[in-house]
């Protein structure tokens, strides 16, 4: 193979490598692109160096051949000169040339030599061999004739070798230029590729990371089908997730802040309501004000308070009784019901059931405390009346008993036949003392009446249980209004009137059944009836005062009630009628609950 073929094959391989250079740039991997580009530069450099070294080796070999050919030419000139002047020296010259320059080896083919040079070399070898045979055969003339063409052929082949050496150097320069341009092209392409696909995206990613650190998430991330693209997508996903987490945390913090503010407002509201309901005596204006505050705080459309005694306290928004969305919350404390809280929310408002439950608990506790306070007042009143009763018993009652005894003794000592008027006077005194004593005993019974229950019906049952021990007649409650409540003064007066009526029936009616009824009419009036099936008592009887009717009427007058005694076909009915002031007072909001 000659030099041209070698260079051709080398640059064919360069072309193949150049064709493959586009392959890495279509790859999705930056690492592959850079690795393949570096490998390609390394291969081109290696091929270039090998080709240059091979070309230089061939050039040096050619220069050595030229030197040998030049030496052979000099020896040929000596042979020509010897053929003219000293033919006998030609053999010695031939021997010297054969020792220094073996002609057989001088024209060996080189893989960089061309075909023409090889043919000329082979012809010169044959000519040299012919000249050598003639000299050995002492044919000096014929040898001389062959030496001149041989010398000319040597000049020609030297020129051929010189031209070949020059071409080899030109090819080396061209190969160097081509390798330089190819490597430069690859380097420039790799530079722009790295700048576009690596440097600029990484620079943008660094800026994005700094922006993310500054909590700026409105960013544009580079897109590519390589490692930078994967890294960019990862940072983008992380940024979006971080943005979402921060947004959620901010939302949660905001919601928690709002919730805490609402909780603070709710606690402040409940504390205010608690102070309002517990620091002053519970009245309907206070409950009315508390209901209005609750309606505003809880966004209620309708709100009212319904107590078990039939009392309704409406807020300024009105009652929710006729609202289809009405909710009823029982007001209970220590297992005891006090009523219901009726309410309805405004459409679209946040339903604050916990606040309403807490409010109901505060109202229940306030009602319980008010009832407990009322009970304490009643207990104090009973204790005070007990003290008065003891004082009356120890003073006036004993005095009346003594007078009664003295009247009896005086009546025995006076002669009835002679002193009729004195007897009559004594009888009147005795009767007056007896009446005073009966009234005093009644008053003492009143003072000593024990009231342990604040509820009128429960107190009534307790009293009936006590009176039932004094008679064989059946004492029962026929009908009783569930929602009937009394204040302290009403409680005592009503119990005393009912007690006195039952005692009169036990002592004088000779009855078998005694029934008590308590109802509230639609006109907001209370009817209390004590009915027996005994002998009956005439309202106009002269013996009325003997049964404590005057005291009963006095108590009825204090209640603003009408007391009547109705003689029935069998038995007597004591009826007490008075307005239900408690309901009216609550609706007007002017007195105690």
| Band of pLDDT at residue 15, cut at 50, 70 and 90 | very low
pLDDT in tens, 99-116: 766 655 555 545 455 666
| Band of pLDDT at residue 474, cut at 50, 70 and 90 | very high
Question: 324: Cβ–Cβ under 8 A, 6 or more apart, which residues?
Answer: none
For the chain, give the mean pLDDT.
76
Are the CB atoms for 243 and 237 separated by under 8 Å? no
| Band of pLDDT at residue 420, cut at 50, 70 and 90 | low
Give the highest mean pLDDT range of 61-65, 191-195, 479-483.
Answer: 191-195
- pLDDT over threshold 60, residue 589: no
What ranges do the domains of the chain cover?
Answer: 3-206, 259-365, 452-593
Query: Per CATH, which fold does 452-593 belong to?
Result: Heat Shock Protein 90 (3.30.565)
pLDDT in tens, 41-58: 888 888 878 877 877 777
pLDDT in tens, 295-311: 888 888 888 888 876 67
pLDDT in tens, 497-541: 888 888 888 888 889 999 999 998 888 888 999 999 988 765 544
pLDDT in tens, 17-27: 444 444 444 44
Question: 416: Cβ–Cβ under 8 A, 6 or more apart, which residues?
Answer: 423
- pLDDT over threshold 60, residue 325: yes
- pLDDT over threshold 80, residue 16: no
- 227 CA to centre of own chain: 37
Are the CB atoms for 592 and 287 separated by under 8 Å? no
Among 289, 372, 305, residue whose Cα is nearest residue 336: 372
Class in CATH terms, 259-365 = alpha beta
DSSP characters over 383-411 = HHHHHHHHHHIIIIIHHHHHHHHHHHHHH
Between 396 and 359, whose confidence is greater?
359
Residue 163 in tokens: 């031209």
- pLDDT over threshold 80, residue 552: yes
**Three-state SS at 511:** coil
DSSP secondary structure code for residue 454 in this structure: S
């Amino acid at each position: 193979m000659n030099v041209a073929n070698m260079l051709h094959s080398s640059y064919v391989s360069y072309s193949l490598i150049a064709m493959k250079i586009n392959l890495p740039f279509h790859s999705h991997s930056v690492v592959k692109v850079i690795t393949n580009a570096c490998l390609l530069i390394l291969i081109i450099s290696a091929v270039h160096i090998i080709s240059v070294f091979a070309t230089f080796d061939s050039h040096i070999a050619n220069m050595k051949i030229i030197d040998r050919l030049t030496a052979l030419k000099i020896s040929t000139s000596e042979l020509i000169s010897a053929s003219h002047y000293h033919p006998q020296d030609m053999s010695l010259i031939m021997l010297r040339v054969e020792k220094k320059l073996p002609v057989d080896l001088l024209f060996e083919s080189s893989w960089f030599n061309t075909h023409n040079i090889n043919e000329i070399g082979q012809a010169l070898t044959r000519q040299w061999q012919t000249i050598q045979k003639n000299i050995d055969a002492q044919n000096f003339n014929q040898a001389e004739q062959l030496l001149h063409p041989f010398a000319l052929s040597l000049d020609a082949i030297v020129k051929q070798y010189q031209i070949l050496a020059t071409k080899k150097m030109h090819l080396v320069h061209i190969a160097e230029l081509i390798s330089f341009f190819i490597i430069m092209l690859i380097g420039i392409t790799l530079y722009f590729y790295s700048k576009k696909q690596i440097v600029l995206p990484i620079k943008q990613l660094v800026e994005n990371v700094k922006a993310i650190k500054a909590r700026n998430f409105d960013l544009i991330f580079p897109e590519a089908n390589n490692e930078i693209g994967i890294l960019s997508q990862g940072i983008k996903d992380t940024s979006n997730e971080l943005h979402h987490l921060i947004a959620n945390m901010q939302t949660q913090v905001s919601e928690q802040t709002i919730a805490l503010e609402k909780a603070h407002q709710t606690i402040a509201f409940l504390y205010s309501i608690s102070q309002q309901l517990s620091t002053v005596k519970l009245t309907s204006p206070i409950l009315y004000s508390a209901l209005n505050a609750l309606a505003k705080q809880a966004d209620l459309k309708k709100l009212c308070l319904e107590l078990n005694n039939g009392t309704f306290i409406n807020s300024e928004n009105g009652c929710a009784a006729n609202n289809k969305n009405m909710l009823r919350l029982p007001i209970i404390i220590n297992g005891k019901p006090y009523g219901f809280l009726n309410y309805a929310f405004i459409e679209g408002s946040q339903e604050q059931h916990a606040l309403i439950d807490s409010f109901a608990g505060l109202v229940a506790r306030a009602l319980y405390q008010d009832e407990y306070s009322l009970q304490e007042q009643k207990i104090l009143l009973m204790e005070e009346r007990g003290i008065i009763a003891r004082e009356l018993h120890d003073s006036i009652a004993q005095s009346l008993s003594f007078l009664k005894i003295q009247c009896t003794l005086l009546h025995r000592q006076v002669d009835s036949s002679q002193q009729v008027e004195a007897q009559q006077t004594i009888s009147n005194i005795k009767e007056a003392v007896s009446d005073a004593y009966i009234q005093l005993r009644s008053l003492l019974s009143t003072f000593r009446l024990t009231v342990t229950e604040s509820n009128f019906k429960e107190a009534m049952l307790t009293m009936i249980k006590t009176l039932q021990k004094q008679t064989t007649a059946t004492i029962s409650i026929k009908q009783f209004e569930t929602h009937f409540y009394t204040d302290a003064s009403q409680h005592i007066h009503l119990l005393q009137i009912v007690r006195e009526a039952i005692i009169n029936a036990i002592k004088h009616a000779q009855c078998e059944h005694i029934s008590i009824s308590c109802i509230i009419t639609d006109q907001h009036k209370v009817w209390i009836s004590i009915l027996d099936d005994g002998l009956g008592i005439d309202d106009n009887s002269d013996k009325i005062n003997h049964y404590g009717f005057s005291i009963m009427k006095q108590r009825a007058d204090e209640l603003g009630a009408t007391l009547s005694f109705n003689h029935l076909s069998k038995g007597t009915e004591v009826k007490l009628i008075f307005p239900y002031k408690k309901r009216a007072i609550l609706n007007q909001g002017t007195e105690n609950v």
